[in-house]
Amino acid sequence: MSKQATIKEIAKKLGVSISTVSRALHDHPSIGLRTKMRVQEVAKELNYEPNQAAIQFKMGKTFTLGVILPELTENFFSQAISGIEDVAFENNYNVLFGQSHDDVEKEKQILATFIKNRIDGLLVSLSKSTRNIEHFQKLSNYNIPVVFFDRVPKEEDTYTVSCDLFKSSIKIVDFLWDQGHRHIALLKGPQTLTATNERMRGFMEGLSRKRAKTDPSLFSSSDLTKESSWSAMKDILSQKNRPTAVIAFNDYVALDAMQYVKRHTDLVINKDICFVSYSNLPMRSYLDTPPLVSIEQFPYEQGRKATEMLMAVMNGEDLETKQIVLDGELIALREE
């Protein structure tokens, strides 16, 4: 491998000073256009590559963003990553990813590593075990802005991008009510997640608008694992007023709950009992009995808008709002 060309070699070939070459490469106004063009030509001829580390040090930036997600392999977050990377690429930023595996301690470890690597900004979707954001609030000591998306904190003075799960849950109740369902169960997620509470609020509001009474016995929770979802579904089906419809926390929880029904009961899905959920995963189209409807939460758009917001904050731009909330779309199953 040939030795990489230096500014000194370019200067020697052109018969100019090193400082002239440096200023020309950085498009300094004191250097004439003709000189700049000559420097660029020779730099290209010699395969010169600028020292990015030196440039970054001089600018006080690393042009690197950190991203902490619960699971990189989940389809929802894979789509969000695409949105993040697209905006980062457009702005010449690199991206470091870390997955918390829904463990707050792992989340803290990743954060510490990112700080050591001098990231310029951070994007986060919280773990299910994160009860407060004190560890993220410390980022202000390092002048590192943070934007939360999808799984966002309850604190109002934060930059967030999320889906309106309150209104989305009302839409789901309306849909089920129009289908004739009066006994509706709610298979919730972890109480630590703001999304769980927003779904619950929307569910209660939806029933209230129908002047329907809520049945607490039809509420059960999952910690998002298969075992927990099975246990929650078993609890729901053991109630005296067995539900005809179940609203699951997301598509994964719905699929686990449906699997329990298929393996441990004689109920026919989408006939004796139906399921609706959130996320609108692509896999739904490959299932014989997918959930009837799912709320599209637009993960790509969330990732993109969160990164655009982070860029604006890092550039010192004035924002109209700190919280961007997208409307969820009810996607119904289309039977061929």
Domain boundaries, given as residue ranges, for the chain: 7-50, 61-163+299-328, 164-296
**Which homologous superfamily does the CATH classification assign to the domain defined by 61-163+299-328?**
Response regulator (3.40.50.2300)
User: Rounded to two decimals, what is the model's pTM?
Assistant: 0.80
pLDDT in tens, 205-254: 999 999 998 888 999 999 999 999 999 999 999 998 899 999 999 999 99
Computed from CA positions of residues 205, 206, 210, 212, in that sequence, does the dihedral angle turn out positive or negative? negative
pLDDT interval class at 284 (50, 70, 90): low
Per-residue pLDDT, 200: 95
Q: Between these two residues, 158 and 25, which has the higher pLDDT value?
A: 158
CA atoms within 13 A on the CB side of 196: 18
Which CATH class name applies to 164-296?
alpha beta
User: Which whole number is the average pLDDT over 125-133?
Assistant: 95
Per-residue pLDDT, 295: 93
Residue 58 has pLDDT above 70, yes or no: no
Per-residue pLDDT, 48: 83
Write the CB contacts of 235 (distance below 8 Å, at least 6 apart in sequence). 220
Residue 49 has pLDDT above 70, yes or no: yes
pLDDT in tens, 291-304: 888 999 999 999 99
CATH of domain 7-50: 1.10.260.40
User: Which whole number is the average pLDDT over 161-187?
Assistant: 95
CB atoms within 10 A of CB 219: 16
- 216 by Cβ neighbours in 10 Å (0-12 / 13-18 / 19+) ranks as exposed
Residue 287 has pLDDT above 60, yes or no: yes
Per-residue pLDDT, 107: 98
Q: Can 61-163+299-328 and 164-296 be said to share one CATH topology?
A: yes
Per-residue pLDDT, 52: 56
pLDDT interval class at 21 (50, 70, 90): confident
**CA-derived radius of gyration, the chain:** 26
pLDDT interval class at 1 (50, 70, 90): very low
Helix (H) or strand (E) holding 99, with range, is strand 94-99
Per-residue pLDDT, 288: 78
Residue 334 has pLDDT above 60, yes or no: no
pLDDT interval class at 28 (50, 70, 90): confident
Per-residue pLDDT, 208: 94
